[in-house]
Amino acid sequence: MNKKIGKITLANLGRDNPVFVQVLGICSTLAVTNVLKNTVVMSIGLVFVTGLSNVTVSVLRKQIPTRIRMMVSTLIIASYVILVDIVLKAYLPDVSRQLGPYVGLIITNCIIMGRAEAFALNNKPLLSFADGISSGIGYSYVLLIIAFFRELMGSGTIWGVTVLGSWWVKWSIMVMAPGAFFMLAVFIWLVKGVIIKDAEVAK
Binding site for another protein (CB under 8 A): 20, 23-28, 30-31, 70-71, 74-75, 78-79, 81-82, 85-86, 100-101, 104-105, 107-110, 113, 173, 176-182, 184-185, 188-193, 196
Backbone angles phi, psi at 161, to 5 degrees: -95, 130
Strands (E), the chain: 157-158, 161-162
Give, as one character, the DSSP assignment of residue 169.
Answer: P
Residue 198: CB atoms within 10 Å: 11
From the CB of 29, what's the least distance to another protein, in Å?
8
Q: Which is nearer to another protein, 7 or 97 (CB)?
A: 97
Q: Which is nearer to another protein, 116 or 127 (CB)?
A: 116
From the CB of 134, what's the least distance to another protein, in Å?
21
Q: Which is nearer to another protein, 159 or 181 (CB)?
A: 181
Backbone angles phi, psi at 191, to 5 degrees: -60, -45
Q: How far is CA 134 from CA 36, 49, 97, 172, in A?
A: 21, 12, 28, 33
From the CB of 78, what's the least distance to another protein, in Å?
4
From the CB of 170, what's the least distance to another protein, in Å?
16
What number of residues does the chain have? 203
From the CB of 59, what's the least distance to another protein, in Å?
20
From the CB of 180, what's the least distance to another protein, in Å?
7
Q: Which is nearer to another protein, 31 or 164 (CB)?
A: 31
Q: At what angle do helices 36-59 and 125-155 cross, to 10 degrees?
A: 170
Please return the burial class of 12, using the count of CB atoms within 10 Å of its CB with bins 0-12, 13-18 and 19+: buried
Q: Which is nearer to another protein, 10 or 185 (CB)?
A: 185
What are the residues whose beta carbons fall under 8 Å from the beta carbon of 62, sequence distance 6 or more?
none
Q: Which is nearer to another protein, 9 or 79 (CB)?
A: 79
Give, as one character, the DSSP assignment of residue 165.
Answer: -
